[in-house]
Structure 1
Amino acid sequence: MKFIWILYAVFLSYSNLCFGIESIGVKGLSAKQSSVLVEPLKRAGANSKELIRSIESISPSRVDGLLFLIEHMPDRDLKTLSSEYLIENVNYAYKARSESDWAKSVPQEIFFNDVLPYASINERRDRWRKDFHARFSPLVKKAKTLEEAAQILNKEIWKMINVRYHARKRPKPDQSPYESIDAGFASCTGLSVLLIDACRSVGVPSRFVGTPMWANKRGNHSWVEVWDGNAWQFTGACEYSAAGLGHAWFKGSASKAIKEDPKHAIYASSWKRTKTNFPLIWDLGIDYVFAENVTDNYTGNLGNRVFIQIFDRPGGERIATDVEVWMDETKVASGRTRDSTNDTNDMLELSLKKGSNYVLKATLKKDEDWSKSFSVNGGKDEEKQFFLSE
């Protein structure tokens, strides 16, 4: 009997918490949105009131972005960040997104993960977003593409903020933007954080990338990747190249990285939690910075070309629909298949890894989800046909 009463008490506590969360905001949150907040609010402790206040105050159209930040926020931020900080960060991220066609074109999942976050690694949480938007948005006002905007920033901002590289004069490796500006010097890590924040302040997706140790054991390095609308392209912070993104002195060293060796692999930061921690060599005890192993992007082991077609039935018509490819609960690719109005040789082309198992997912109608498992066998150009009737 005592056990039953304990279960009942737990149920009531959980129900009350969920009810309180669902009532947040003018129109309230959906059950799905509410469920996202249960664990973060618990970990936030006394600071949960600041998180709730930020949700109550933000525009309903921006709530999902704020919830994404909170869902994946490390405990240090859950317990300390103010509602004013979060609201300003989110509002100016959306403001930048609305100011150019190239910023508007960024897919929501990339905007959430690589524009909206206020930090890249473990740096001090400066309130940089509004200030950087005011400083740097005029520079990219006439830019026509994401790459052009990123290139302009990497060429121009260093003269404006008077920061340059120095391995010994910088106070510490993991400097925040204002710590680097105050010092006038930064390491490759501090410079990368600065360029990332400058890019994000105007709506350009960017992320922190690095290796703990080059394969030739000549030290570590950090740099920046920018989403150019089609793929992630690398650049060195404070190392503008007129040749464009994808050109830097470290390209050769990066091509020798070793994916299977954590010390010699290349990692890209992710605000969204992943199964991989970013190895921060200045403090290997930090476990709240997440990452993707992106070594293959630098070594050329990008996988096989796989062509995807969906038919209504064997011998039937091709179906055009948006699809996603998943592996181990992680989305690894997406695109749109072609239908009979396209040339028969025009097929959705994806780069997938030989010998790996995947799941192809599609939403054919409003409430009709479809999925099919498949594997990549290793042919250089491999065609996969799927039939809705099977």
Structure 2
Amino acid sequence: MDGAGGSERMNTTYGFDVQVMEEKFAAKRQWAKFRERELFDVFREPLTEEERLLLKFLYAYMPLHDLADYDGAFFLRHVRHALEVREQMPWGRSVPEELFVHFVLPYRVNNENIDESRMVIHHELAPRVQGLSMSEAVLETNYWCHERATYTGNDARTVSPLTLMRTALGRCGEQSTLAVTALRSIGIPARQVYTPRWAHCDSNHAWVEAWADGAWHFIGACEPEPVLDEGWFRSPSTRAMLVNTRVAADYDGPEEICSDHPWYAEINMLDHYAPVKEISVYVVDEDGRPAINAEVNFQLYNFAEFSTIVTKKADAKGRVTLMTGLGDLLVHARGEQGWGFRHIRVSEAGEFELTIHSQPDYGQVLELDMVPPPVSGGEERVVSEEMRRRHEERMKEGTAIRSAYEATFCSEAYAAKLAGELALPLERLLPVLQQSKGNGEELALFLQEIKPEHRLLGLRLLESLRVKDLTDTFRESLHDHLNGALPFVDRVPDSELFDAYVLCPRVHFEMIAPYRAFFQQSFTEEEKSRYAASPQLLAEHIGSLIQVASDVDRYSGMATPVGAFRLKVADRLSRHIAFVAAARSLGIPARLEPLNGTPQFWQAGSWQDAVLDPAGLRQEAAEAGAAELAAKGKVCFVQPPNQPAADASSDVATYHYNFTLARLEEGRYRTLSIPFGETDVYNKPYEVLSGDYRLTTGTRLGDGSVRVRLSFFSVAPGEEVKAPLIFREEEIEAPVWGKVSDRVWTDFAGSGSVAAEHTGIVLVWLESEREPSKHVLRELRELSDRLEDWGGPIKLFSEAAPASQDMDGLPDQATLRVEEDGARGLLEEVKATVPDLQGREWPVVLVLDVSRQVRYMSEGYKLGIGADIVKTLKALG
């Protein structure tokens, strides 16, 4: 194998230290020693000096799961394509080489499964940008992305750009992955930018920065604007506490390195978007000595938990610094001396001290008020009428192109025909095909290729998958999982147990790939029989075979089961997934326990924890506090006697909406995985690991601040603990913002409308192609029962009809008025009598009382508008 193959010139030009890169390349090669031929034989091919160096760079910093699941030929093709594009595109050689290496060359954007997206997109996009400047090419690329996909909320797995193009729907993380991939495919440096969590509302957002003509600019992925540095998120981003991106390198650029990980760097670009302040936190032990190397987590309240937005290590003075926004943070630290946390208000100080203890005592209850950064105004970009007109035409053209493609998805008539041919129930086949979007033909071919006697089981296999799986699981995988499960249909007679925990290939959020034939061929018949009789032996075999490498990959659980088995190195979650997959391949029902993620197998009528650490390491694992070996108790959420019963207008206890439960593990809290949005939580015992717990409840106020209540308790083995869900009260204010004219009221209410005179009206102005408006529609759907009980009119206004999936399930009384220019005209009339209404950022949401007064007003992006509407209506009586 060659040495560095580089020079000091290469070192300086590309902006990385070749010696450090070589050391990390060697470390990755050692980890991948069981895949030496598949990964490293490409270095025996004739390579240029540059190809060799860049290929090594990719290997040195790629995650372990990519070493597990892809071959060297893929990475070499990628390097050569990136170099070819640099020569082909007119701006290719104008891109500084350090930007090329860090923001064009990388094949991965985030945690998507990787494929040939770059090559496919380049072939389609490159001709469209010929003759354009770099800035124009960035804008044109985003119009292309808009033609391919629009926003929808979905699960945490990030699909590849090709899958997003196939489905035409994705969340912001997937849209930005597509846009970054598209820009890189034509040689433009690009990076996915995140606010990891919003401070003023729940959730987060991802967008894109592209380098053009000497500077970085931002765009909203798949949401074009006529100019750069514009997007609906511009205003909310001024209230962010962190805006960052991840670079798979020892990056030394001009931005703040907010998290310097050995295998990647996270850089902070918040000062591009929001007012900032550099703060220092000094972590000390109980005796006041610096807690050197303590892990310091900066956390925000979001989705009813304290979520870490960045982690840093304390220096020799116990100090960490961070450039952040002017809001509140919870700082949680842990080290050899113990752990602890502190609420800090960045707007009031620049230095803070945090003491960690071996056994901190916060009492039984702690109340905090978390305040986000204030709203910060910014200059609105000036766009000429001609640019605006052309932009709106392009948006309509893009929507029409995407809609025409979506019209090719499997129709009800096609599903009925296929159901008749295959003798399958239409009411079960139709939703599967409809949810598969552009992958419907692939699923249809799979069902057609199955023997008639197995087709119903094939349909059960498809029904066992998550909706997103139906869009990117292909016949090779489906046939492997069906054929691999067939021998065990009669062995596991409980169909629900069989379908969910034997037939279903999905374990966590890994990419579904074939694995049953592989595992069935990896064991002798004697081993299969022994493992079926004692699944714990299989767990120990997998545990001894696969080495756990912690804190290497940014995301855990990404390796496919076969990849982890072959590489024999993986993160702990990927090893757990490999065990579950191997067990299911042998007909053993297996899963990850829903609350704690512990691998389990079904035996003797109950779920048993699988201990993957070999027998000789069990004591060591126990001493390290491994959750797998902990005893169990129960937590039962109860309603306090002084808290009124929930009714149609009050907040319901909802997991990850207003409360969560977290277990203390090795000095930090891990939130339990109770299903997101679960409301049936009272008086239902949840089996949990014994230990110390923190119950978080929060009441989000209209200005984005949160009234938080933390309660602390312990669960002993075999004990059931009653945990009251207590929410701090909110004083609902409904100020009068103005009063609409009689003419406007009549227009909104409708002639002779009795309901509006007794209830008031909810008014919503929408941009159908923008994520913020889609969020509002989703929240109205989720709250349809409460809004229908209220009964008043809900008037929606839009310049273009929203997608049918966004409108389905809205409250019965909601009506939509689509007027190309009239929607803005109506809003202008309201602005004339409501002085504080700007109307520039949509959606605009108003609640009018029976006296025609505006009592609630929201403009632009915000999650929780639906809940605000319900609270306001309740306050108005």
The answer to whether the superposition gives a TM-score over 0.5 is yes
1:117 is aligned to 2:103: no
Contact 1:277 1:288 in 2 (8 A): no
Structure-2 separation of matches of 1:44 and 1:254: 41
- Give 1:382's aligned residue: none
SS in 1 for 2:69: coil
Structure-2 separation of matches of 1:23 and 1:232: 32
Structure-2 separation of matches of 1:212 and 1:294: 12
- Give 1:202's aligned residue: 186
**What is the total number of aligned residue pairs between the two structures?**
264
Seen in structure 2, the aligned counterparts of structure 1 residues 225 and 257 have a Cα distance that, compared at 3 Å, is: same
1:221 is aligned to 2:205: yes
Match of 1:297 among 269, 272, 285: 272
Using CA pairs under 8 Å that are at least 6 residues apart, name the structure with larger relative contact order, 1 or 2: 1
Deviations 1:102-147 (A, max 9, x none): 22111111111111111111111122122121111111111122x2
1:86 is aligned to 2:75: yes
Contact 1:233 1:245 in 2 (8 A): yes
- Give 1:351's aligned residue: none
Deviations 1:256-290 (A, max 9, x none): 222xxxxxx11112121467569xxxxxxxx9764
Per-residue deviation at 1:292?
A: 0.9
Structure-2 separation of matches of 1:171 and 1:138: 34
Deviations 1:48-83 (A, max 9, x none): 333322333333332222122111111111233212
Structure-1 separation of matches of 2:145 and 2:109: 19
- Give 1:174's aligned residue: 158
Letter of the structure 2 residue corresponding to residue 203 of structure 1: G
Contact 1:47 1:80 in 2 (8 A): no
Seen in structure 2, the aligned counterparts of structure 1 residues 143 and 106 have a Cα distance that, compared at 3 Å, is: same
Structure-2 separation of matches of 1:207 and 1:39: 27
Seen in structure 2, the aligned counterparts of structure 1 residues 53 and 229 have a Cα distance that, compared at 3 Å, is: farther
Deviations 1:284-314 (A, max 9, x none): xxx97642121112115599xxxxxxxxxxx
Match of 1:271 among 243, 248, 253: 248
Per-residue deviation at 1:21?
A: 4.3
Contact 1:24 1:55 in 2 (8 A): no
Contact 1:24 1:56 in 2 (8 A): no
Structure-1 separation of matches of 2:160 and 2:51: 26
Seen in structure 2, the aligned counterparts of structure 1 residues 223 and 214 have a Cα distance that, compared at 3 Å, is: same
Letter of the structure 2 residue corresponding to residue 55 of structure 1: F
Structure-2 separation of matches of 1:107 and 1:166: 36
- Give 1:325's aligned residue: none
1:164 is aligned to 2:164: no
- Give 1:149's aligned residue: 137
SS in 2 for 1:142: coil
Deviations 1:239-270 (A, max 9, x none): 1111x221111111111222xxxxxx111121
Per-residue deviation at 1:23?
A: 10
The worse-fitting range, judged by mean Cα deviation, of 90-99 and 213-222 is: 213-222
- Give 2:174's aligned residue: 190
Structure-1 separation of matches of 2:264 and 2:238: 24
Match of 1:234 among 203, 218, 229: 218
1:247 is aligned to 2:230: yes
Structure-2 separation of matches of 1:34 and 1:299: 38
Per-residue deviation at 1:152?
A: 0.7
Per-residue deviation at 1:158?
A: 3.4
Seen in structure 2, the aligned counterparts of structure 1 residues 43 and 249 have a Cα distance that, compared at 3 Å, is: same
Seen in structure 2, the aligned counterparts of structure 1 residues 182 and 289 have a Cα distance that, compared at 3 Å, is: farther
| TM-score calculated relative to the size of structure 2 | 0.28
1:22 is aligned to 2:11: no
Structure-1 separation of matches of 2:223 and 2:113: 24
Contact 2:118 2:181 in 1 (8 A): yes
Seen in structure 2, the aligned counterparts of structure 1 residues 199 and 239 have a Cα distance that, compared at 3 Å, is: same
Structure-2 separation of matches of 1:36 and 1:220: 32
Contact 2:197 2:203 in 1 (8 A): yes
Contact 1:37 1:70 in 2 (8 A): yes
- Give 1:99's aligned residue: 88
Identify unmatched segments of 5+ residues in structure 2: 12-17, 252-256, 279-314, 316-349, 351-877
Contact 1:44 1:78 in 2 (8 A): yes
Per-residue deviation at 1:230?
A: 2.3
SS in 2 for 1:41: helix
Per-residue deviation at 1:193?
A: 0.3
Letter of the structure 2 residue corresponding to residue 247 of structure 1: E
- Give 1:73's aligned residue: 62
Letter of the structure 2 residue corresponding to residue 296 of structure 1: D
Contact 1:173 1:190 in 2 (8 A): no
Choose 1 or 2 for highest CA Rg: 2
Seen in structure 2, the aligned counterparts of structure 1 residues 183 and 171 have a Cα distance that, compared at 3 Å, is: farther
Seen in structure 2, the aligned counterparts of structure 1 residues 24 and 110 have a Cα distance that, compared at 3 Å, is: closer
Contact 1:114 1:271 in 2 (8 A): no
The worse-fitting range, judged by mean Cα deviation, of 223-232 and 187-196 is: 223-232
Letter of the structure 2 residue corresponding to residue 112 of structure 1: V
SS in 1 for 2:116: coil
Structure-1 separation of matches of 2:102 and 2:32: 21
Per-residue deviation at 1:157?
A: 3.7
Structure-2 separation of matches of 1:297 and 1:39: 36
Contact 2:145 2:178 in 1 (8 A): no
Letter of the structure 1 residue corresponding to residue 189 of structure 2: P
Structure-1 separation of matches of 2:166 and 2:220: 21
| TM-score calculated relative to the size of structure 1 | 0.61
Seen in structure 2, the aligned counterparts of structure 1 residues 289 and 35 have a Cα distance that, compared at 3 Å, is: closer
- Give 2:44's aligned residue: 56
The worse-fitting range, judged by mean Cα deviation, of 86-95 and 74-83 is: 74-83
Contact 1:122 1:289 in 2 (8 A): no
Contact 2:244 2:268 in 1 (8 A): yes
Cα RMSD (Å): 3.2
Contact 2:238 2:275 in 1 (8 A): yes
Contact 1:21 1:37 in 2 (8 A): no
Match of 2:34 among 38, 46, 53: 46
The worse-fitting range, judged by mean Cα deviation, of 217-226 and 48-57 is: 48-57
The worse-fitting range, judged by mean Cα deviation, of 193-202 and 127-136 is: 127-136
Identify unmatched segments of 5+ residues in structure 1: 1-19, 259-264, 279-286, 304-327, 329-354, 356-390
Contact 2:194 2:245 in 1 (8 A): yes
Structure-1 separation of matches of 2:277 and 2:197: 22
